[in-house]
Amino acid sequence: MAGHARYTALLDACVLYPLGMADALMSLATAGFFAAKWTTRIEDEWIRSLEKQRPELVGKLGVRRDSMRDAIPDWEVPEAAWATITRGLELPDRLKHCFERAEQTLQLSSTVRN
C-alpha cells in the first residue's frame, strides 16, 4: 500500500494538473512519505482542465489516470464519504466544492488518528 498512515494528503485538481507537480507528488507518495488521496470528481476536474488547455489530449488521459490509480491503490475517497454532508445544502457550486474538499480532509484526518 502506497503512502504512510501517519500523513494523508487530499490532492486537489490544482496539484494533479500541472503534470510535473502531479508526478512529483506521486513519486513522494509511492516512496511512502504520505498517503495520497483524491476523488473521481477531482480526477474529472484535472482531466477537463488539461483537455481544455491541450485539446489534442481529449480522450487520451485515461492511461495516465489509470497509472496514477495503479501507483496509489488506496487513492479513492468515496463519494459516500462526503456526499451526505453536502446534500441539502443550498450553496453556490464554487462554495460547495470548497466545503466538500474541507470535509474530505477532516474525515481523512479523523481516520488517520483512529
pLDDT digits 0-9 by tens, 58-79 = 999 999 999 999 999 999 988 8
Calculate what percentage of the chain has a pLDDT beyond 70: 68
Q: Is there a domain that residue 25 lies in?
A: yes
C-alpha cell at 87: 446534500
Mean pLDDT of the chain: 82
Q: Is there a domain that residue 3 lies in?
A: no
Residues 5-44 as b or e (16 or more Cβ within 10 Å = b): eeebbbbbbebbbeeeebeebbeebeeeebbbbbbebbbe
Q: Is there a domain that residue 98 lies in?
A: yes
Residue 27, pLDDT score: 95
Specify the residue for cell string 491503490. Answer: 73
Residue 114, pLDDT score: 39
Q: Is there a domain that residue 23 lies in?
A: yes
What is the domain extent for residue 47? Answer: 8-113
Provide the domain count of the chain: 1
Q: Is there a domain that residue 2 lies in?
A: no
Amino acid making up residue 78: P
- Give the whole-angstrom CA distance, residue 94 versus residue 8: 24
Give the lowest-confidence range in 10-19, 25-34, 93-102: 93-102
Q: Is there a domain that residue 19 lies in?
A: yes
Residue 57 has pLDDT above 60, yes or no: yes
Q: Is there a domain that residue 52 lies in?
A: yes
Helix axis angle for 62-71 and 19-30, nearest 10°, is 20
pTM of the entire predicted model: 0.72
Q: Is there a domain that residue 63 lies in?
A: yes
